[in-house]
């Protein structure tokens, strides 16, 4: 069962083609890592999954992305629904300009998920990301007062609070210090049995540590993809071998 | 002067160059231009102070002849008899501005939101000339449009209708003046005039909100409207208020259009249809008679000073808020 | 499910509310132009635009037109724009060359923004006060000086925006050739001339339309402009004064004068738009 299937996806920024004919399946309840040098289109691919690419008016997209068998780029699809079911953890932590509590509560509120137990949801999500003990005394404080690592965990809790099925992470540890980054990594590893995770990273070691499945991109093209063990131990393409040996990139 | 560090690429310090290869003349020109232009920039900054000082000096005779409270609260304006009560004009200006804001604020803020959050750059560049044209139309043309179109509309249709319905219950909506000239006509035309300003500033403020906020909200599955509302409430509220304040002060100082439509009757208005008199109109209407009556010129300069102080207060507040908001990005 | 539908309906509703607001503005703009054209075209004649007034112009039996006011307005606006650019252009370039984000630059921008908000009647009063100090009478020169104060912030701020769009590498290239900052200022000016044109047109348009500032300072006359130190007529005031008479024939001339004014403003506005879009093509992003 594949929750996300990409079929012949092409993306252009203006006249420049950013993704060329991508066809790949994202495995269910595993961690998929999209790797490649910067500018290879890995973030573009990730953001095409929840249609955040649409925000950029220069962008032209054709091809299909099937989510639960339904093309998310078909006309008449409810974009907000797609974005609810496919959550995103951004590159830099961006707490909304409101309190810690409201940051987590915002999603459940607008989606009407609370049914009167909003604070239970908030508590549960903050516990799930290991932030509860650090912030329980100051839930009403502005979220911008937290440290970088705390902010990113808060953003994770905020994303999880809308109960997504897929979680996208766009180099979500790149802007953090190594210890906070490891913390986030541990959390993501633990989420495997609940969510399908897709993460973009330029850090090969991180992909080695976390990924079950790897997609390697190069200049907008998909070079190689496969289960992590096979990908790292017996890469099929010369380009992949060179990249893993850090000769290129 | 250059206390804050900036990242401009700079040439070698002028003196060092002068000592080495640069000819004295080029260095001299450079330094001379620098001093002169810097001085001009400082003078422009000080211009506001100069204007305030000059108006204060010219209005000093009347300010020293009467206590300030008497001038501001006096209800009678009869310069011949030495009575200089500004209250009717202040009330008229405030009233007509409030009417204008009542018409303009909501549509302008919504339009600004639409331009900033909902349009592609192509739609925007199609809509922008519309706003620019509204800005460009001279105030006398707005006034004439009011005379030819809005005044008859108020006189023949809106006035009688309001009098029959709301006017029966609220004196504020009673048609006290059959001519059509008055607060409603002037206020409506004024609303059209300040609309583009509020739109432009609201849009600018929303544009300065970091893109990540929009993306974060949308990624949580918020609709466009929920995203806009959250940005508005959490990040852009002070800037939008500043936009409204700017609109208010623009309306407060508008002269010709208001003067042509407000009816120019110096009394404190109590109904939407009352004729009134605004501060700028007071100045503009009476400039011809300035010389013949003692203290008259000084009184009109006092009116200009009052106008300046109100507008400056609002503008400084609003601009500081906007500067702080847009600098962050 | 129900909630989802409700949210979608709310989203759609507000989208249409916003569109309706903009559409209302467009309709009002259309109405303004329509009313001005429709009422103005009737009284418009070649005589109106080509001749100054002749005897009894404001008493309905006179002939002639508002040529004197058209020329007067052009003189006033051109003079004011020229004077304002002579001050604004070097200063704006200066702050960009020496310290685009320094304290002086930010203070200058704040001051200009605030000056933009000062009503033109206040500038008029200030100009009048200045005239009394200098012992001047209402004249073209006094009008130009006052109007220059009105258009200075418009010109300077618009030009400032244009200059800040100039490509960064211009700095590096020019300085690496060993230029002084003054010489770089010249290079920057050449680069931003098309944008300067936009700023000048905007200021010029505002200058032509402004009446409150020239009311005391430029005076009004029925003659063609005669010199810098003589009073001069202006188009907005011509509209205003003709409208103020009790004679329908003269009022009709006010409509025609307003139409002439509107056409001039529209032309300048369109030219400014064109210069902006041309500029867009040359800006390196």
The pLDDT assigned to C1 comes to 66
Residue C91 CA to residue A3 CA, distance in Å, equals 61
Q: Where are the domains of chain B?
A: 14-65, 71-327
Residues of A in Cβ contact (< 8 Å) with C8: 78, 80
State chain A's mean pLDDT as an integer: 91
User: What part of C 46-75 touches B (C-beta under 8 Å)?
Assistant: none
Residue B324 has pLDDT above 90, yes or no: no
Q: Calculate mean pLDDT across residues B185-212.
A: 94
Please count the structural domains in chain C.
2
Interchain CB distance below 8 Å, B311 and C122:
yes
Interchain CB distance below 8 Å, B308 and C180:
no
For residues C190 and C282, the answer to whether their CB atoms sit within 8 Å is: no
- The pTM of the full predicted model, rounded to 2 decimals, is 0.90
Burial class for A70, CB neighbours closer than 10 Å (0-12, 13-18, 19+): exposed
C124 domain-assigned: yes
Residues of C in Cβ contact (< 8 Å) with B38: 94, 98, 104
Residue C37 CA to residue C18 CA, distance in Å, equals 29
Q: Which residue does chain C place closest to A79, by CA atoms?
A: C8
Q: Which residue does chain B place closest to A96, by CA atoms?
A: B213
The pLDDT assigned to B170 comes to 87
Interchain CB distance below 8 Å, B255 and C206:
no
DSSP letters for B267-324: S---STT-----HHHHHHHHGGGGGGSTTHHHHHHHHHHHHHHHHHHHHHHHHHHHHH
Interchain CB distance below 8 Å, C4 and A81:
yes
Residues of A in Cβ contact (< 8 Å) with B219: 50, 52, 83, 87-88, 90, 159
In tens, the pLDDT along B30-89 reads 888 888 888 888 999 999 999 999 999 999 999 999 999 999 999 999 888 888 999 999
A76 domain-assigned: yes
In tens, the pLDDT along A159-192 reads 999 999 999 999 989 888 999 999 999 999 999 8
Interchain CB distance below 8 Å, C3 and A80:
no
Length of chain C: 285
C136 domain-assigned: yes
C51 domain-assigned: no
Q: Calculate mean pLDDT across residues A9-14.
A: 92
The pLDDT assigned to A38 comes to 84
A148 domain-assigned: no
C65 domain-assigned: yes
A132 domain-assigned: no
Instruction: Kindly provide the ipTM of the predicted complex, given to two decimals.
Output: 0.92
Decide if A112 touches C, using CB distance below 8 A.
Answer: yes
Q: Which residue does chain C place closest to B31, by CA atoms?
A: C182
C183 domain-assigned: yes
In tens, the pLDDT along B236-290 reads 999 999 999 999 999 999 999 999 999 999 989 999 999 999 999 999 988 766 6
The pLDDT assigned to B289 comes to 66
To the nearest whole Å, the CA of A88 is away from the closest chain C CA by 20
Interface probe with C: pick from B137, B151, B252, most Cβ of C within 10 Å? B137
**Which residue, A12, A4, A28, A39, is CA-closest to A171?**
A39
Decide if C86 touches B, using CB distance below 8 A.
Answer: no
Q: How many CB pairs under 8 A join A and B?
A: 62
What is the CATH number that goes with domain B71-327? Answer: 1.10.3720.10
In tens, the pLDDT along B139-198 reads 999 999 999 999 999 999 999 899 888 888 888 888 888 899 999 999 999 999 999 999
Residues of A in Cβ contact (< 8 Å) with B234: 96-98
Interface probe with B: pick from C69, C95, C125, most Cβ of B within 10 Å? C125
- Residue C32 shares a structural domain with residue C74: no
C216 domain-assigned: yes
The pLDDT assigned to A68 comes to 87
Please count the structural domains in chain A.
1
Interface probe with A: pick from C7, C9, C10, C12, most Cβ of A within 10 Å? C7
H-assigned helices in A66-137: 79-85, 100-111, 118-128, 132-135
Confidence of residue C49 (pLDDT cuts 50, 70, 90): confident
The pLDDT assigned to B1 comes to 38
Residue C43 has pLDDT above 90, yes or no: no
Structural domain of C13: 2-43
Interchain CB distance below 8 Å, B221 and A159:
no
Interchain CB distance below 8 Å, A84 and B220:
yes
In this complex, the residue of C15, C36, C117 whose CB is nearest that of residue B141 is C36
Residues of A in Cβ contact (< 8 Å) with B120: 57
In this complex, the residue of A50, A81, A96 whose CB is nearest that of residue B234 is A96
- Residue C20 shares a structural domain with residue C68: no
- Residue C35 shares a structural domain with residue C126: no
- Residue C265 shares a structural domain with residue C134: yes
The pLDDT assigned to B4 comes to 47
DSSP state of C85: H
Residues of B in Cβ contact (< 8 Å) with C113: 315, 319
In tens, the pLDDT along C105-115 reads 889 999 999 99
To the nearest whole Å, the CA of C3 is away from the closest chain A CA by 7
Residues of A in Cβ contact (< 8 Å) with B218: 52, 55, 80, 83
Structural domain of A217: 4-92+167-244
Distance of CA A9 to the CA centre of its chain: 18
In tens, the pLDDT along C128-183 reads 999 888 988 889 999 999 999 999 999 999 999 888 877 777 777 777 776 777 77
- Residue C139 shares a structural domain with residue C266: yes
In tens, the pLDDT along B297-321 reads 899 999 999 999 999 999 999 999 9
Confidence of residue B126 (pLDDT cuts 50, 70, 90): confident
The pLDDT assigned to C60 comes to 63
Identify which has the larger pLDDT, C94 or C260. C260
In this complex, the residue of A81, A83, A111 whose CB is nearest that of residue B219 is A83
DSSP state of A136: G
Q: Which residue does chain B place closest to C107, by CA atoms?
A: B45
To the nearest whole Å, the CA of A81 is away from the closest chain C CA by 9
Residues of B in Cβ contact (< 8 Å) with A158: 220
Q: Which chains reach chain A with 3 or more Cβ–Cβ distances below 8 angstroms?
A: B, C
Interchain CB distance below 8 Å, C3 and A111:
yes
To the nearest whole Å, the CA of A109 is away from the closest chain B CA by 10
The pLDDT assigned to A14 comes to 87
Interchain CB distance below 8 Å, C91 and B44:
yes
C222 domain-assigned: yes
Q: Which long-range contacts (CB under 8 A, 24 or more apart) does B210-218 make?
A: B210/A94, B210/B329, B212/A90, B212/A92, B212/A94, B213/A94, B213/A96, B213/A97, B214/A55, B214/B117, B215/A52, B215/A55, B215/A88, B215/A90, B216/A90, B216/A94, B216/A96, B216/A155, B217/A96, B217/A106, B218/A52, B218/A55, B218/A80, B218/A83
Identify which has the larger pLDDT, A44 or C275. A44
Burial class for C228, CB neighbours closer than 10 Å (0-12, 13-18, 19+): middle
Other beta carbons less than 10 A from residue C224's beta carbon: 15
Q: What is the CATH number of the domain that holds A230?
A: 3.40.50.300
Q: Cα-flanking dihedrals φ and ψ of residue B59, to 5°?
A: -95, 5
A140 domain-assigned: no
- Residue C219 shares a structural domain with residue C160: yes
The pLDDT assigned to C194 comes to 80
- Residue C37 shares a structural domain with residue C99: no
DSSP letters for B95-145: HHHHHHHHHHHHHHHHHHHIIIII--HHHHHHHHHHHHHHHHS-HHHHHHH
The pLDDT assigned to C4 comes to 85
Residue B295 has pLDDT above 80, yes or no: yes
Length of chain A: 249
To the nearest whole Å, the CA of B182 is away from the closest chain C CA by 17
Q: Which residue does chain A place closest to C11, by CA atoms?
A: A80
The pLDDT assigned to C163 comes to 86
- Residue C89 shares a structural domain with residue C225: yes
Interchain CB distance below 8 Å, B214 and A97:
no
């Amino acid at each position: 069962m594949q929750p996300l299937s990409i079929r012949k996806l092409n993306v252009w920024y203006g006249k420049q083609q950013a993704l060329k004919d991508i066809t790949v399946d994202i495995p269910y309840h595993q961690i998929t890592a999209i790797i490649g040098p910067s500018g290879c289109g890995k973030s573009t691919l990730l953001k095409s999954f929840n249609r955040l690419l649409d925000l950029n008016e220069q962008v032209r997209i054709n091809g299909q992305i099937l989510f639960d068998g339904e093309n998310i780029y078909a006309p008449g699809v409810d974009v907000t629904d797609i974005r609810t079911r496919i959550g995103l953890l951004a590159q830099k932590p961006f707490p909304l300009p409101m309190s810690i509590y409201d940051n987590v509560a915002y999603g459940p509120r607008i989606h009407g998920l609370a049914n009167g137990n909003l604070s239970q949801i908030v508590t549960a999500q903050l516990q799930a990301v290991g932030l509860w003990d650090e912030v329980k005394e100051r839930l009403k404080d502005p979220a911008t007062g937290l440290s970088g690592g705390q902010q990113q965990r808060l953003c994770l809790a905020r994303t999880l609070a809308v109960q997504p099925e897929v979680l996208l992470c766009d180099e979500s540890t790149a802007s953090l210090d190594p210890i906070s980054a490891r913390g986030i990594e541990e959390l993501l590893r633990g989420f495997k049995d609940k969510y399908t995770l897709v993460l973009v990273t330029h850090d090969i070691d991180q992909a080695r540590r976390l990924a079950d499945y790897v997609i390697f991109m190069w200049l907008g093209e998909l070079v190689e993809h496969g289960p992590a063990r096979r990908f790292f131990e017996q890469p099929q393409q010369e380009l992949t071998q060179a990249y893993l040996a850090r000769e290129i990139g | 002067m250059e206390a804050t560090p900036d990242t401009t690429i700079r040439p070698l310090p002028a003196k060092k160059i002068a000592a080495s290869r640069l000819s004295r003349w080029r260095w001299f020109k450079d330094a001379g231009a620098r001093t002169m232009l810097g001085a001009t920039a400082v003078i422009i900054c000080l211009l506001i102070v100069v204007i305030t000082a000059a108006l204060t000096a010219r209005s000093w005779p009347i300010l020293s002849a009467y206590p300030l409270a008497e001038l501001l609260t006096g209800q009678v304006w009869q310069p011949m008899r030495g009575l200089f009560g500004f209250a009717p004009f202040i009330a008229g200006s405030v009233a007509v501005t409030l009417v204008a804001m009542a018409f303009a604020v909501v549509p302008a803020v919504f339009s600004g939101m639409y331009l900033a959050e909902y349009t592609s750059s192509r739609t925007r560049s199609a809509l922008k000339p519309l706003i620019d044209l509204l800005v460009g139309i001279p105030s006398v043309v707005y006034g004439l449009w009011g005379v030819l179109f809005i005044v008859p509309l108020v006189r023949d249709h809106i006035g009688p209708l309001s009098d029959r319905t709301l006017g029966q219950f609220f004196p504020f909506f009673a048609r006290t003046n059959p001519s059509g000239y008055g607060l409603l006509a002037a206020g409506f035309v004024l609303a059209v005039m300040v609309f583009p300003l509020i739109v432009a500033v609201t849009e600018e403020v929303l544009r300065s909100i970091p893109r990540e906020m929009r993306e974060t909200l949308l990624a949580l599955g918020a609709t466009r409207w929920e995203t806009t509302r959250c940005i508005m409430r959490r990040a852009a509220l002070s800037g939008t208020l500043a936009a409204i304040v700017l609109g208010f002060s623009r309306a407060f100082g508008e002269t010709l259009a208001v003067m042509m439509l407000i009816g120019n009757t110096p009394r404190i208005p109590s109904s939407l249809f009352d004729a009134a008199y605004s501060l700028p109109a007071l100045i503009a209407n009476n400039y011809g008679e300035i010389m013949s009556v003692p203290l008259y010129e000084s009184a009109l300069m006092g009116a200009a000073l009052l106008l300046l102080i109100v507008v400056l207060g609002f503008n400084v507040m609003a601009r500081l808020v906007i500067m702080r908001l847009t600098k962050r990005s | 499910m129900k909630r989802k539908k409700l949210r979608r309906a709310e989203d759609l509703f507000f989208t249409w509310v916003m569109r309706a607001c903009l559409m209302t503005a467009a309709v009002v703009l259309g109405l303004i132009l329509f009313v001005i054209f429709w009422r103005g075209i009737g009284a418009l004649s070649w005589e109106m635009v080509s001749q100054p007034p002749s005897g009894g112009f404001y008493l309905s039996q006179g002939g002639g037109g508002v040529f004197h006011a058209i020329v007067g307005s052009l003189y006033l606006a051109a003079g004011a724009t020229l004077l304002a650019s002579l001050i604004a252009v070097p200063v704006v370039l200066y702050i960009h060359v020496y310290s685009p984000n320094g304290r002086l630059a930010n203070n200058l921008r704040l001051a200009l923004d605030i000056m933009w908000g000062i009503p033109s009647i206040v500038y008029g009063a200030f100009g009048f006060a200045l005239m009394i100090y200098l012992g001047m009478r209402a004249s073209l020169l006094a009008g130009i000086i006052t109007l220059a104060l009105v258009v200075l912030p418009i010109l300077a701020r618009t030009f400032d925006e244009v200059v800040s769009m100039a490509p960064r590498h211009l700095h590096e290239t020019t300085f690496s050739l060993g230029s002084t900052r003054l010489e770089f200022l010249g290079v920057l000016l050449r680069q931003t001339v098309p944008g300067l044109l936009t700023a000048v047109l905007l200021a010029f348009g505002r200058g032509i339309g402004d009446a409150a500032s020239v009311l005391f300072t430029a005076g009004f006359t029925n003659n063609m402009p005669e010199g810098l130190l003589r009073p001069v007529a202006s188009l907005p005031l011509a509209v205003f004064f003709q409208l103020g008479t009790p004679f329908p024939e003269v009022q009709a001339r006010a409509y025609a004068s307003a139409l002439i004014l509107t056409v001039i403003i529209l032309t300048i506005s369109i030219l400014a738009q064109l210069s902006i879009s041309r500029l867009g093509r040359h800006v390196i992003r």
